[in-house]
Structure formats: structure tokens, C-alpha cells
Amino acid sequence: MKERIFSALLVGVISLLSPLSALAAAPEFGTVVEGLSIPGDVALGDTRAVVEATFGAPDSCQDQGVHDSEDRGYDAICDFDVSGGGQVTIYFKDSDGGLADGTPDDVTSFMRWTHAVDGWVTTAGVNTTLADEEPEAAAAAYPDAEVLRFEWGSIWQITDYWQGIRILRSPNFYSGTVTVYMSIFHPTAPPPPPPPREKTLRVSDIDLSIVKRTVEAEVRVLDDRAWSVSGALVEATWTLPDGSTQIVNATTEYGGWARLDLNKVGRGQYTLIIDNVALADHTFDPDNSVLSATIVKQK
């Protein structure tokens, strides 16, 4: 099972959806299985006319997604009341796969249950109660799924692209309850994994100042994401007014800063040159670093 750790905060409408009814045998990748549907003979690929003949007129429709503001065409996203209670949200496209135009020929491309719906269970045996109370068991039912987790390890989304199933767990941290949303869509190839991150370190700042007989030097280290890095070893060389050198090193702390002070200094020019920055699994990037700084002590 491909898992990723995600830091996320999802606060949703509070409700607990009832179980779901049989959808279909798991489709092979890239195929559209007519049985992958909700009760009432409505399936992916069915026209708007078939949906309305089954569920009646929609309770409401909109042209674009609330969360992504993406324009999906005219009356592209509609909520339908389902017999037994609850609603199903259906996304439509036109018959050629483009934006919906609000005609009876628009076809169903995606379904999501957003209110209490009675009696719906996926063919893998997952319903919203299981997804809420035993999310690890729900994830185990889809061994090829992408599983996303909160930073503390709890599952918040399960997506099986091969079977066209998505389960979203949206907790409300004030009440301690969870809303479970279940969706079906046409099986697709999962998105390619992101390229491996090249972990690099760079020196972003060198701040020099003179306090009495000390040249104070603060060096800041950032990673390839521009995040401050603690625990990195900064190795550097001071060049003194007489041309001699002194090797120094220090470890970065909070904010990515390391102190490389030079004590008991006299008058003249002092130059700090960064030689290397080291941290496990990271590479120093000198080309994008500030590598030296100079200060002059006048008296």
C-alpha cells in the first residue's frame, strides 16, 4: 500500500453517514464497468435524463466546484435526494467529455455521498461506519490505494484509482466527530509519484558585527524548500589582517543560525569564508549560497 504522511487540518460538517449498497466487481484499470453505480440503476456514464428519471429533479445545481472554483459547465454539479433519506452529489460532463451544458444528454462522471444515505456498501465491504471507526480496515480493503494521513498518523483519505473509489474522513476537532464522504469515479491511472526530492543546503545569510574585541558572525542555513535547518554543521575559515587563517565550525540551531565568532581581535580586515555545510542525507549547494563576508575593525 502506497502511503504518504501529510500534515493536514480538515474541519467538516458534522454527520455520520449510514452504510452504502453494492457497487460492482472491481474493474480492471482503464475499463468502465456499468455495475459501478449507486442503487436505483444510476451508473457512471448514465445521462442526466436517466438520473432525473430515477431520482427526480435535482435539489440544487451549480456550475463550478465550491472548493476549487473550477468551471465545469452549466449545471455541472447537482445534488439529488435519494429514496430512504440523504443526498448524492453527481458531476456531469457533456457527451463528448467536455464541460456540461445542462442538457439531458450530459453524462454522469462522478458521484459523492454527502448526507446520510441508507444501505450503501462497496463491493470491498466498506461503508462509512467502517471508514469512520476502523479506517485501517477500510484502507486494507483497497491494497492498491493511495493512503494520505495526518501528521499524527491517522488516515484522512483513501483513493483507489484503479477501482475508482475515494473515501474522505473529515474530522471536527471541536466536537470530536468525523464526517465520511465516499465517492466513485471512472478508473484512471494513478498520478505519477513526485520525483525524489534533492535535499540540498545553502547559506542564505552571513551577518558580521564587531562588539568590543569580538567579531560576531551569524550564518543562516536553509534547505531546498527554503526552510531553516537546525543540526547542520557549518565549516568555515577566518582570514585575519596579517593573512593568517583560523578554521572554525558550529552547528545550526533554532532558525537555522550558527555562531562563528572570532575573539580577541585587533584592528584590520576580517573575512569569513564558508567551506562546507554538512547534514545527513543532504548536499551542500555552494552555487546558491552566500560564501563570504568581510568586516573591518577600525580601532
The highest-level CATH class for domain 200-297 is mainly beta
Residue 118 pLDDT: 58
Locate CATH 2.60.40.10 in the chain.
200-297
Full-model pTM: 0.51
C-alpha cell at 133: 471507526
Quick: pLDDT tens for 24-67.
Answer: 333 343 343 433 444 445 778 889 999 898 888 999 999 987 66
Question: What SS3 class is residue 256?
Answer: helix
Residue 97 pLDDT: 86
pLDDT band at 104, cuts 50/70/90?
very high
pLDDT band at 116, cuts 50/70/90?
low
Cα three-residue angle 279-203-262, rounded to 5 degrees: 95
Q: Name every residue whose Cβ is closer than 8 Å to that of residue 160 and which is 6 or more positions away in sequence.
A: 142, 144, 145, 146, 166
What percent of the chain is predicted at pLDDT more than 90?
Answer: 45
